[in-house]
Amino acid sequence: MKIGPAEKPSDAMQLLRIICGNIMKLPKAKTDDLMGNVTNEQGLPTHSLQPLFIAAEMGNTEFVVELIRQYPDLLWKRNDDNQTIFHVAVLHRHVSIYNLLHEIGSMKDMITSVVDKNGNNMLHLVGMVANGHEREDNSGVRLQMQHMQREVLWFKEVKDMIPPSYRKMKNKNDRTPKQLFKSEHDYLLLANEKWMKDTANQCLLIAALIASTGCSAAFAVPGGYNQNTGMPIFLHNRPFIFFNILNAISVVFAAYSILIFLSIFISRYTEHNFLESLPKKLMRGLSALFFSVANMAVAFLVAFFSFWQGELIWVPLFISCFIFMPVILYVRLQYEVLMDVYYSTYGSRNLFRPKKLRLYHQNPRL
């Protein structure tokens, strides 16, 4: 079943509406029993296998929305752990269900103030590692960085949503949400720090090699110097001018990338720095290195073509086909890293900004 909204109701949604309509025709006692509205002395449901909480745990947004539309009181219901569907959505990181909080007006203040049986508020649940994200992540460290950024975004969003006094509340284990978040995500922090430093170290070596080669080429003038004036023989030669311009640009970008990668080594590797500061530095460093490598390759071709003229022009043309192969291979490999970092950094900015209403067709007056 699709999680996102569909223009036409699916067969499953049509079936759900028929079932809900038939349930409404039953006696109230039977309806309450079917929908889990039978509570004990503490006001909690007598069973936790309610359709609503199962759907919230699985991330079935359409099912949750349809049930709430039919039975609005389900917004307030809690499971055996004294958690609402929004607490369950936070625990399992289901954004689309959590975003329904933005549609219920002032009622969200009462829901976000709910504390479960272990003394955990909604921000404590963000501190817990989401189900399905085990410490042994086989999907690669780059995806771990995306996971880390998502977790920090979740923490910031829920922190702004709950009452301010809850931000430093301690649960029954005497831990605040921040303490719980740090202890549960330390493995992600260490893995991301290692990957970031390894990537910066590899790129730093390449940038240093380009910078040293470019500086050497700037003083090793092709054709030598005029013995009388001390000026380069090809001073007014166009290929020579283009070569020096491209070489200088390559060295400048290489030097800039070196500074960026060095700053990555001395940065503070905190959770919030992985949200924007460190990814932006890595993107700037990789972009500068791309420009440096590209200008270096073009400068080499300009210098190479200037020495082969006439009938032998096919020699540089043939060799130029192979010159760009390692450059293209390197750019392609690093481009994937750059795009992953870019989308994980900027693609999650609107994670908690629903584009359209799901629960109500118009804003409710609450």
Q: What are the DSSP calls for 37-51, one per residue?
A: --B-TTS-BS-S--H
Nearest partner of 45 among 9, 82, 19, 90, judged by Cα? 82
Instruction: Give the C-alpha separation, 219 to 217, whole Å.
Output: 5
Tens of pLDDT, residues 69-98: 877 888 888 888 899 999 999 999 999 999
> Under a CB-based contact definition with an 8 Å cutoff, are residues 261 and 207 in contact?
yes
Most confident of 52-56, 94-98, 316-320, 326-330: 94-98
Instruction: Give the C-alpha separation, 247 to 296, whole Å.
Output: 6
Nearest partner of 295 among 253, 350, 255, judged by Cα? 253
Categorize the per-residue pLDDT at 31 as very low, low, confident or very high, splitting at 50, 70 and 90.
Answer: low
Rg (CA), the chain: 30
Instruction: Average the pLDDT over each of 43-47, 80-84, 91-95, 135-139 and give the range with the smallest value.
Output: 135-139
The residue count for the chain: 366
DSSP string, 196-244: HHHHHHHHHHHHHHHHHHHHHHHHS-TT-B-TTT-SBTTTT-HHHHHHH
Tens of pLDDT, residues 146-192: 888 889 999 999 999 999 999 999 999 999 999 999 998 888 888 88
Residues 6+ positions from 305 with CB-CB distance below 8 Å: 239, 313, 316, 320
Q: Residue 225 pairs with which residues in a beta bridge? A: 232
Q: Is the pLDDT of residue 348 over 60?
A: yes
Give the pLDDT confidence score for residue 1 in this predicted structure.
38
Tens of pLDDT, residues 4-25: 444 455 666 666 666 666 555 5
Categorize the per-residue pLDDT at 361 as very low, low, confident or very high, splitting at 50, 70 and 90.
Answer: low
Instruction: Give the C-alpha separation, 95 to 87, whole Å.
Output: 11
pTM here is 0.75
- Identify the DSSP state of 54: H
Q: What angle do CA 32, 33, 39 make, to 5 degrees?
A: 80
Collapse the DSSP code of 99 into the 3-class scheme (helix H, G, I; strand E, B; otherwise coil) and give the result.
helix
Give the pLDDT confidence score for residue 137 in this predicted structure.
46
Q: Which residue has the higher pLDDT, 222 or 94?
A: 94
Categorize the per-residue pLDDT at 113 as very low, low, confident or very high, splitting at 50, 70 and 90.
Answer: very high
Nearest partner of 252 among 210, 303, 204, judged by Cα? 210
Collapse the DSSP code of 68 into the 3-class scheme (helix H, G, I; strand E, B; otherwise coil) and give the result.
helix
In the chain, where do the E strands start and end? Answer: none
Instruction: Give the C-alpha separation, 152 to 185, whole Å.
Output: 10
Q: Is the pLDDT of residue 255 over 90?
A: yes
Q: Is the pLDDT of residue 63 over 50?
A: yes
Nearest partner of 63 among 96, 111, 102, 109, judged by Cα? 96
Q: Is the pLDDT of residue 46 over 80?
A: no
Dig out the tokens for 234 from the structure: 């090809």
Q: Residue 39 pairs with which residues in a beta bridge? A: 45
